């Protein structure tokens, strides 16, 4: 029964109640119903008193849903409000019948994510997956949603897709995609029209993912109606329940066979698997089904398009709002890149101030405001008992804005991430890419894309805040990801 969710328990209760209604006299059934309902409510109330008994603040939960509705409405705001009410670095919540403990104690986070990772190997499915029941739905098989040994197995297959040799091969594609955007930037510089920076970065991101991930020229800058883009729109508008909608245009298939892109790397594991099944019942190691390949392709889209683009958007806007920082970056680019037209792999690692800007942007605007872990085996840490199925929440946004970790956290200050300043802080004060074995495996690719896009644009254009555009502090919306509440506009001048 401990593995059953509240919905399962309620279903069993209704089923038993129905049988009792049919078989028992009405008076006895009513008495039975009152007693069992009262006992059930008492048990729920008792379960939702756990943190209070430990002297840990907990917002008042709904008897049936706990704090689930409050959390899903505004994850960032929920954490901030309750840290303030708790006047502490920790608080407790309840998601349905599961406990959720939230803390900014870095040693506690280290215990969960690193030292005792074997007790917290899994993550919670995102809320939209709760309604998905089809076993073969490809969303269930993306790496971030996998659990236990299956997660470890697929992770070991996918990791080589992001090794140094493969990342180096992507650099020309990144440069080519950014160069395509220059016609749009030139047009806005000449006309003086304000630029919707999110729209521009979206085009670059779509082109990069199409080329680097699938060797597909998706027409991001020319044709918004291509099959690739149309299918991609459905991905970002909602979680698909039919993986066939994600299929690429058949026109790209021959191209993929000729290119060493990420999708082809994953498809190679399918070919090995299918070959092995001819006359064999035992599969070789490191193979994936086509369904699971499509699942990882979806993850490439989600991480490479939505989240990476958001960091680039915030970074460019911060540079527009802080001309002195933008000029310092331009000086570094001139010194490192010089007259070279493209940004190379070697350039990227010498653009240290650019990296500081990206990290400071990710600190102020972490795209994922909170991370979670699911307890997979009962364990007690610092007096907090986690049952199998209970949740642990890492409040990334709150940690990144904590004045105990960062002086004047609301100020954009890239020097925070100079080598000497980073060395003086606990590494867990910066969690933009997660931590421990379940950290982001695409971190290096994401950082590389950010560096090339930002450096290429700043090398050729000066950015300024457009009239009537947002000022600091930026207003943010946060449900699944942190995003600005309004369209972000900038003015562009050609250098």
State what percent of residues in the chain have pLDDT above 90.
Answer: 39
Q: Strands, DSSP E only, in 259-360?
A: none
Task: Consult the annotation and say whether 478 binds a ligand.
Answer: no
- Inform me whether the pLDDT recorded for 229 exceeds 80: no
Model confidence band, residue 286 (pLDDT cutoffs 50, 70, 90): low
Cα dihedral across residues 473, 478, 483, 487: positive or negative? negative
Model confidence band, residue 34 (pLDDT cutoffs 50, 70, 90): confident
Rounded CA-CA distance 252/215 in Å is 7
The stretch 190-201 carries a mean pLDDT of 90
- Inform me whether the pLDDT recorded for 365 exceeds 70: yes
Q: Which two tokens stand for residue 258?
A: 């000729």
In this prediction, residue 230 carries a pLDDT of 60
Rounded CA-CA distance 54/48 in Å is 12
Residue reference for tokens 């800058």: 221
In this prediction, residue 256 carries a pLDDT of 45
Rounded CA-CA distance 393/113 in Å is 11
Residue 461 Cα to chain centre, angstroms: 30
Rounded CA-CA distance 93/87 in Å is 15
Rounded CA-CA distance 322/458 in Å is 13
- Inform me whether the pLDDT recorded for 13 exceeds 80: no
Model confidence band, residue 234 (pLDDT cutoffs 50, 70, 90): low
Higher model confidence: residue 13 or residue 363? 363
Helix (H, G, I), strand (E, B) or coil at 328: helix
Q: Give yes or no for a contact between 392 and 367, defined as CB atoms under 8 angstroms apart.
A: no
In this prediction, residue 258 carries a pLDDT of 46
pTM: 0.81
DSSP state at residue 322: -
Residue reference for tokens 């946004």: 397
Q: Give yes or no for a contact between 68 and 98, defined as CB atoms under 8 angstroms apart.
A: no
Q: Which two tokens stand for residue 445?
A: 């690719």
Model confidence band, residue 395 (pLDDT cutoffs 50, 70, 90): very high
Rounded CA-CA distance 438/154 in Å is 12
Model confidence band, residue 351 (pLDDT cutoffs 50, 70, 90): very high
Read off the pLDDT of residues 337-347 as tens digits, 9 standing for 90 and up: 998 889 999 99
Model confidence band, residue 136 (pLDDT cutoffs 50, 70, 90): very low
The stretch 252-267 carries a mean pLDDT of 46
Pick the closest to residue 322 from 437, 465, 129, 443 (CA basis).
Answer: 465
- Inform me whether the pLDDT recorded for 296 exceeds 90: no
Residue 196: exposure state from Cβ atoms within 10 A (0-12, 13-18, ≥19) = middle
Read off the pLDDT of residues 435-482 as tens digits, 9 standing for 90 and up: 888 888 778 888 999 999 999 999 999 999 988 887 788 888 776 778
In this prediction, residue 39 carries a pLDDT of 82
Helix (H, G, I), strand (E, B) or coil at 203: helix
Cis peptide before 473 (omega within 30 of 0): yes
Model confidence band, residue 241 (pLDDT cutoffs 50, 70, 90): very low
DSSP state at residue 213: I
CATH T-level topology, domain 156-367+401-494: Cytochrome p450 (1.10.630)
Higher model confidence: residue 151 or residue 280? 151
Helix (H, G, I), strand (E, B) or coil at 233: helix
- Inform me whether the pLDDT recorded for 402 exceeds 60: yes
The phi, psi pair for 477, rounded to 5°, reads -110, 145
The stretch 20-29 carries a mean pLDDT of 84
Cα dihedral across residues 402, 68, 111, 152: positive or negative? negative
Q: What is the mean pLDDT of the chain?
A: 80
- In 338-442, where does DSSP find H-type helix? 345-350, 352-364, 396-400, 419-423
Neighbours of 21 (CB within 10 A): 13
In this prediction, residue 417 carries a pLDDT of 97
In this prediction, residue 298 carries a pLDDT of 63
In this prediction, residue 416 carries a pLDDT of 97
In this prediction, residue 428 carries a pLDDT of 96
Higher model confidence: residue 353 or residue 470? 353
Q: Is 324 left (phi over 0), alpha (psi -120 to 50) or beta?
A: alpha
Read off the pLDDT of residues 153-168 as tens digits, 9 standing for 90 and up: 777 777 777 778 878 8
What ranges do the domains of the chain cover?
156-367+401-494
Residue 361: exposure state from Cβ atoms within 10 A (0-12, 13-18, ≥19) = buried
Rounded CA-CA distance 57/161 in Å is 44
In this prediction, residue 214 carries a pLDDT of 63
- Inform me whether the pLDDT recorded for 215 exceeds 70: no
């Amino acid at each position: 029964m401990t593995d059953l969710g509240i919905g399962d328990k309620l279903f069993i209760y209704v089923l038993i109640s129905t049988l009792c209604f049919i078989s028992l006299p009405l008076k006895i059934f009513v008495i039975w119903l009152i007693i069992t309902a009262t006992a059930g409510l008492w048990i729920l109330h008792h379960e939702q008193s756990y943190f209070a008994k430990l002297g840990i603040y907990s917002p008042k939960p709904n008897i049936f849903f706990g704090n689930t509705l409050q959390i899903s409405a505004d994850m960032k705001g929920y954490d901030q409000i309750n840290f303030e009410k708790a006047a502490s670095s920790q608080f407790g919540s309840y998601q349905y019948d599961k406990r959720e403990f939230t803390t900014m104690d870095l040693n506690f986070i280290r215990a969960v994510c690193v030292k005792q990772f074997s007790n917290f190997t899994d993550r919670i499915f995102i809320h939209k997956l709760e309604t998905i029941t089809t076993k073969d739905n490809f969303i269930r098989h993306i790496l971030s949603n996998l659990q236990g040994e299956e997660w470890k197995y697929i992770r070991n297959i996918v990791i080589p897709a992001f090794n140094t040799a493969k990342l180096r091969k992507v650099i020309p594609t990144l440069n080519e995609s950014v160069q395509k955007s220059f016609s749009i930037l030139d047009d806005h510089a000449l006309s003086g029209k304000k630029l919707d920076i999110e729209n521009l970065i979206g085009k670059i991101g779509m082109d990069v993912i199409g080329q680097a991930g699938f060797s597909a020229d998706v027409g991001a800058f020319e044709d918004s109606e291509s099959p690739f883009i149309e299918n991609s729109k459905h991905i970002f508008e909602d979680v698909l329940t039919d993986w066939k909608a994600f299929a690429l245009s058949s026109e790209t298939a021959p191209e993929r066979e000729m290119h060493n892109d990420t999708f082809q790397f994953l498809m190679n594991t399918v070919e090995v698997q299918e070959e092995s099944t001819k006359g064999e019942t035992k599969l070789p190691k490191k193979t994936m089904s086509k369904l699971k390949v499509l699942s990882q392709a979806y993850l490439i889209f989600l991480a490479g398009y939505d989240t990476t683009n958001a960091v680039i958007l915030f970074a460019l806007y911060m540079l527009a709002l802080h001309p002195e920082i933008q000029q310092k970056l331009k000086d570094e680019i001139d010194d490192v890149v010089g007259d070279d037209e493209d940004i190379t792999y070697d350039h990227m690692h010498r653009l240290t101030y650019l990296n500081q800007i990206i990290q400071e942007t990710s600190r102020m605007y972490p795209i994922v405001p909170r991370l979670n872990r699911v307890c997979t085996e009962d364990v007690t840490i610092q007096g907090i008992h986690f049952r199998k199925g209970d949740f642990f929440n890492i409040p990334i946004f709150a940690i990144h804005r904590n004045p105990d970790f960062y002086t004047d956290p609301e100020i954009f200050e890239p020097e925070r991430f100079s080598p000497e300043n980073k060395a003086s802080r606990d590494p867990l004060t910066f969690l933009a890419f997660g931590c421990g074995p379940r950290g982001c495996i695409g971190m290096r690719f994401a950082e590389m894309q950010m560096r090339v896009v930002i450096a290429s644009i700043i090398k050729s254009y000066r950015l300024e805040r457009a009239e009537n555009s947002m000022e600091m502090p930026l207003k943010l919306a946060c449900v699944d990801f942190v995003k600005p509440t309004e369209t972000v506009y900038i003015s562009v001048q050609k250098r």
